Amino acid sequence: MAFFIASSPHTQKRRSLSNMMLLVAICAIPGILAQTYFFGFGTIIQVLFAILVAWSFESIVMLLRGRSPFNALRDNSALLTALLLAIAIPPLSPWWITVIGLFFAIVIAKHLYGGIGQNLFNPAMVAYVVLLISFPVQMTSWATPAQISSTPVGATDALSLIFSGFNIDGMSLQQIRTGVDGITMATPLDTVKTGLGHGQTLSEITSSPLFSGIAGFGWEWVNIMFLIGGLAMIKLRVIQWYIPAGVLAGMLGMSLVLFIIAPGAQGSPLFQLFSGATMLGAFFIATDPVSAATTVKGRLIFGALIGVLVIIIRTFGGFPDGIAFAVIIANMCVPLIDYYTKPRTYGHK
């Protein structure tokens, strides 16, 4: 038998990298459909456009490196990066947001470090952080759920807004955002954070039609669908349970402590678990096999660190969610985590 030496990611199951990446993308479909149902066809448009852009950047870089682009495209890593970034940004973000983000994800965060298996950070989260810091207005302009909006955005309007900045009636996104219904287009996390900063109480904030159920109208269902997709990945052994369990346990524990200390300073622990990109981050982003910890204990610690950081950023930081920042900070800690959690060599005292 031949002995092959290759860079990460490594899996114990006899499954190719391309199949793994494709299964992750397939398991994300329930969450994508839920996000499309509540926030419009912009999500689907962003996903399709992002995949084309990512494939283009991947092909150009591989040609510049003197390698075949077809082999790189077949591993589906560019497809998955595009998918994760497209569903993380607001559905009606302008097209150039996607292009800039994927340039940083594919060219800078991935190929500048040597390509798949060599990147230190999750490429999609690097792109998201760059975009959020550089273009905060565009990156926080989420649509009001269509079911409670007086100006719902159809597929044609979404396509026009993304690529021209105006809908078919000539209204800009800003004009649609300040419609007559008076409902903010911020996420529930952003609404809670802003309201508390302005001295409002949680009961006053959650009286808005934007809040319904556990974590805001539509958002709990999006998270539930990503949770179902994540559990399917565990069942199929595409990922292991350690990192998602660590993320959710870290978030639950930290949010519970802060909720007990100051119950009016943030949402409930259940609100935190089913708001924003929690389940997407726990199952689809933090579990990146290249940039995550590799030991069993290390994965639990890595996940818990992300969960704790998410709650700290949401509560005390300047950004409403914090998944991307938490993942990148935890990526920096991976060498240290792996060093102190590596299993003892057999026979070593």
**Predicted pLDDT at 27:** 96
- Give domain status of residue 7, yes or no: no
Same domain, 21 and 133: yes
Asked if residue 292 and residue 219 are part of one domain, the reply reads: yes
End of a domain among 184, 209, 239? 184
- Does 229 share its domain with 175? no
Q: Do 318 and 270 fall within a single domain?
A: yes
Judgement on whether residues 224 and 318 belong to the same structural domain of the protein: yes
Contact 143, 90 (CB under 8 A): yes
CB-based contacts of 19, cutoff 8 Å, min separation 6: none
Structural domain tally of the chain?
2
| Nearest-angstrom CA–CA distance, 299 and 293 | 5
Please check whether residue 12 lies inside any domain of the structure: no
Instruction: Please report whether residue 101 resides in a domain.
Output: yes
**Sheet strands (E) in 156-209:** none
Q: What is the pLDDT along the chain (349 residues), one digit of tens a residue?
A: 454 445 555 555 556 778 899 999 999 999 999 999 988 899 999 999 999 999 999 999 999 988 888 887 888 889 999 999 999 999 989 999 999 999 999 999 998 888 887 788 899 999 999 999 999 888 887 877 766 666 667 888 889 889 988 877 777 777 666 554 444 456 778 878 777 777 777 777 777 767 777 777 788 999 999 999 999 999 999 999 999 999 999 999 999 998 888 777 777 888 889 988 999 999 999 999 888 998 999 999 999 999 999 999 988 888 878 899 999 999 999 999 999 988 776 655 5
Give domain status of residue 197, yes or no: yes
Within a domain: residue 348? no
In this prediction, residue 193 carries a pLDDT of 78
| SS3 at position 93 | coil
Asked if residue 38 belongs to a domain, the reply is yes
Q: Is 6 part of a structural domain of the chain?
A: no
Residue reference for tokens 């399917």: 232
| Token pair in block for residue 115 | 């390509």
162 and 213 in a single domain? The answer is no
What is the span of the domain harbouring residue 200? 187-341
Is 201 found in the same domain as 162? no
User: Do 144 and 248 fall into the same domain?
Assistant: no
Q: Which two tokens stand for residue 22?
A: 């494709």
For every residue of 110-122, DSSP letters joined together read: TGGGTSTTT-SS-
Whether 55 and 89 map to the same domain: the answer is: yes
- Could you give the C-alpha distances from 98 to 6, 83, 139, 166, 292, in angstroms and in order? 31, 11, 11, 17, 25
| Residue 9, in any domain of the structure | no
pLDDT at 141: 79
According to the model, what pLDDT value does residue 175 have? 67
In this prediction the pTM is: 0.88
- For residue 284, what pLDDT is reported? 95
Q: Is the dihedral of CA 210, 214, 215, 219 positive or negative?
A: negative
Looking at 139, 161, 184, the residue that finishes a domain is 184
Q: Do both 234 and 266 map to the same domain?
A: yes
Q: Would you tell me how many other CB atoms lie within 10 Å of the CB of residue 111? A: 22
Q: Which of 337, 331, 339 is nearest to 300 (CA)?
A: 337
Last residue of a domain, one of 162, 184, 206: 184
Vertex 300 angle, CA 296 and 305, to 5°: 140
Instruction: Give the per-residue pLDDT at 349.
Output: 58
Same domain, 127 and 268: no
**Same domain, yes or no: 265 and 323:** yes
Residue 85, Ramachandran bin (φ over 0: left; ψ between -120 and 50: alpha; else beta): alpha
Copy the structure tokens of residue 108: 């800078």
23 contacts 284 by C-beta, under 8 angstroms:
no
The residue length of the chain stands at 349
